Chain A
Amino acid sequence: MESFLNRYRNITVLLLVIFGQLVLLAWQVRNDQDVRMIRVWTVTAVTPVARVMEWMRGGSIGFLRDYVLLHDTHEANQRLQSEVDHLKLENNFLKNELNMAERAKALSVFQEHTPSKTVAANVIGSGAGTNSKVLFTDRGSTAGVQRGMAVVTPDGIVGTVIQSYPTASEILLITDPDFAAGVATQKTGARGTLKGQGTPLCKVDYIPFEEKINVGDWFYTSGDDRVFPRGFPVGVVKAVHPGQPFQEVLVEPSGMHRGLEDVLILLEGVHQTIPTEKVATQPIYIAPPPGSPDLAQVDPIPVGGTEADKLRAHYKAVGDAQNHKFGEGLPGSKPPDFNLVLKPGTPGPAATPPKPASQSPAAPKPTSTTAVAPASPAPGARSQAPAVQPAPAAAPEPISERPHNE
């Protein structure tokens, strides 16, 4: 027996092992149960190693991806760079659109409030010469543009129309050496002739040496040239050189320093007053249009511009309260009681702005909504200036009634 087992030991062991596994298998199948213990042993033995392997794999892949295999980093960088470039372009485009909208709004506000009849035009090109100081706009004779008309922006004068075509017009800028316009200082009213020099600064000629001109003074159009109506900002003095018999004054034009994309061509110019107060540099603010709901919440501020206007309005209210009409009483008749205290319901100067007798029909009509503006127009504030423009003190003379074409 021993020799038999020894001879067939291998096959015996094989049969025993297989029989044992068959029994195990049969037991599982028959009882539909699992030998949990063996599985637990195996899983317990395998999973820690698998966890270590997974940790090593994750670490290795992360290391390779983050530090070694950077082949996609360059592509990603290029893609992101391209995306940034695209967004920059889009941002620039949107900024330009916004600027254009703001300019258009400022132009529209100015156009509504200027007494002159204007037509808005877009600058579509410049002259072909290297030193050319001419521009082309998209408005021509079909829009009423004629040679010799003034071109302005809310910030100041820009030039004159030198050629008018059916669909376009050619503008000579004030910086061109051939340009000339009559100007006057804001402070003293000294008159001179503005001339272009081909440089960013213009020269004002024929200012007598005894006139005191300071750097920072403002020049306005004087209306003498019969092209530009009086009262449009021209520029600020940058340098003054004394001379005999005339001073040499250099002026920086104010109408072009925000760029020229939209301009107004004055079809019928109306003279305006030259503001007497010192012009302060103010931030750009586009006032909401009159009657907008925003203004309904604005506290009413007395209008009238000057103390004299307020006093005049007060006297008028006092006269109305006593049924007195100024200018009708005979000499010696009883004057109204100027010390009368007005009742709250009585229209006062805040509610009844004075109507300037000399205001032209085309001049801007001051309303209570324009009271948000300062008393003096700022040439630098392109939108406020027209919105708050005070009524001309003197009777404006529409220069359209005069031949202004050369």
Chain B
Amino acid sequence: MSYSGSERILLSSRREGEASRFHPAVMLLVPLAAILFQVYVPLFFQFLGYLEMPLLVVVYFALMRRSQIRGLLIGAVIGLAQDSLSKAPLGMFGIVKTLVGYFAASVGLRLDVDNGLLRLFLAYFFYVFHQFFYWVMARALLAQQVAFDWQRTLILGLLNAVVAVALFHFLDKMREAA
């Protein structure tokens, strides 16, 4: 896939558009740690249950890998793993995170995802998208009559975005040099 200079309007050089590489152990352990965080940490710190760590990890890897297929596969695997540890049927988080991974990778192809402010915005956007699309699927596929709390979602989106910036910065350290 080739991109013209006009398509990568926010990428200042071609080097910035190159996909980041990660050690396979990082690709395995970081999602695992995110899932463990999601199921384990809230047992002791309930307020940390509002952090959607698997989503943030999907967004990060999708953005940095700059490959839509890899992005959607990462999202699908992590989503299904999250489904496996939840009471929801398999596929709910899988579908949503597949879409998030795909779109995040699509964005990463065009924007300079090393920018902190952009990361903050993207994390915020994908969190809201993730929550909203999950709510849509829950209503449409599972016929769950639940209301969508916009206010709460927007506030928690901000919280997750702030954490995402710090998390992305930490995960940047694990990138392998090109």
Instruction: Give residues in A with beta carbon < 8 Å to B.
Output: 9-10, 13-14, 17-18, 21-22, 24-26, 28-29, 34-35, 38-39, 41-43, 45-46, 49-50, 53-54, 57
Contact = CB atoms under 8 A, between A and B. Distances in A.
Contacts of A18: 95, 98-99
Given A34-B89, A39-B90, A53-B40, A25 B84 contact: no
Contacts, number: 82
Contact of A39 (B36, B72, B84, B141): B84
Q: Is the interface of B mostly helix, strand, loop or mixed?
A: helix
B39 A38 contact: no
Interface in B37-86: 39-40, 44, 68-69, 72-73, 76, 80-81, 83-85
Contact of B76 (A21, A29, A45): A21
22 contacts: A14-B102, A17-B98, A21-B76, A21-B90, A21-B95, A24-B91, A24-B94, A25-B89, A25-B90, A28-B91, A29-B141, A34-B90, A35-B90, A38-B80, A38-B84, A42-B80, A42-B84, A46-B36, A49-B36, A50-B36, A53-B36, A54-B40
Contacts of A22: 91, 95, 141
B32 A25 contact: no
Interface in B121-162: 141-142
Nearest to B143: A29
B92 interface: yes
A270 to B, nearest CB: 84
A374 to B, nearest CB: 74
Given A14-B68, A17-B76, A50-B40, A41 B84 contact: yes
Contacts of B95: 18, 21-22, 25
B135 to A, nearest CB: 15
Nearest to B92: A25
A29 B73 CA distance: 23
B107 interface: no
A62 to B, nearest CB: 14
Nearest to B97: A21
Contacts of B99: 14, 18
Interface centre among B35, B89, B99 (most CB of A within 10 A): B89
Residue from A25, A42, A45 whose CB has the most chain B CB atoms within 10 Å: A25
Interface of B: 32, 35-36, 39-40, 44, 68-69, 72-73, 76, 80-81, 83-85, 89-92, 94-95, 98-99, 102, 141-142
The dominant DSSP class at the A interface is: helix
Nearest to A6: B1
Contacts of B36: 46, 49-50, 53
A39 B95 CA distance: 16
B84 A43 contact: yes
B140 to A, nearest CB: 11
A14 B40 contact: no
Given A38-B90, A53-B36, 20 more contacts: A10-B69, A13-B72, A14-B99, A21-B76, A21-B98, A22-B95, A24-B91, A26-B141, A28-B90, A29-B89, A29-B141, A29-B142, A34-B89, A38-B83, A42-B80, A43-B84, A45-B32, A46-B39, A46-B81, A50-B40
Nearest to A19: B95
A39 B91 CA distance: 12
A60 B142 CA distance: 43
B35 A25 contact: no
A387 B89 CA distance: 93
Contacts of A34: 89-90
Nearest to B102: A14
Identify the 8 closest CB pairs spanning chains A and B, nearest first: A42-B84, A25-B91, A21-B91, A10-B68, A28-B89, A39-B84, A21-B94, A24-B91
Contacts of B72: 10, 13-14, 17
Contacts of B80: 21, 38, 42
B41 to A, nearest CB: 9
Given A18-B98, A21-B91, A42 B69 contact: no
B90 A17 contact: no
A16 to B, nearest CB: 10
Given A21-B98, A29-B142, A42 B85 contact: yes
A42 B76 contact: no
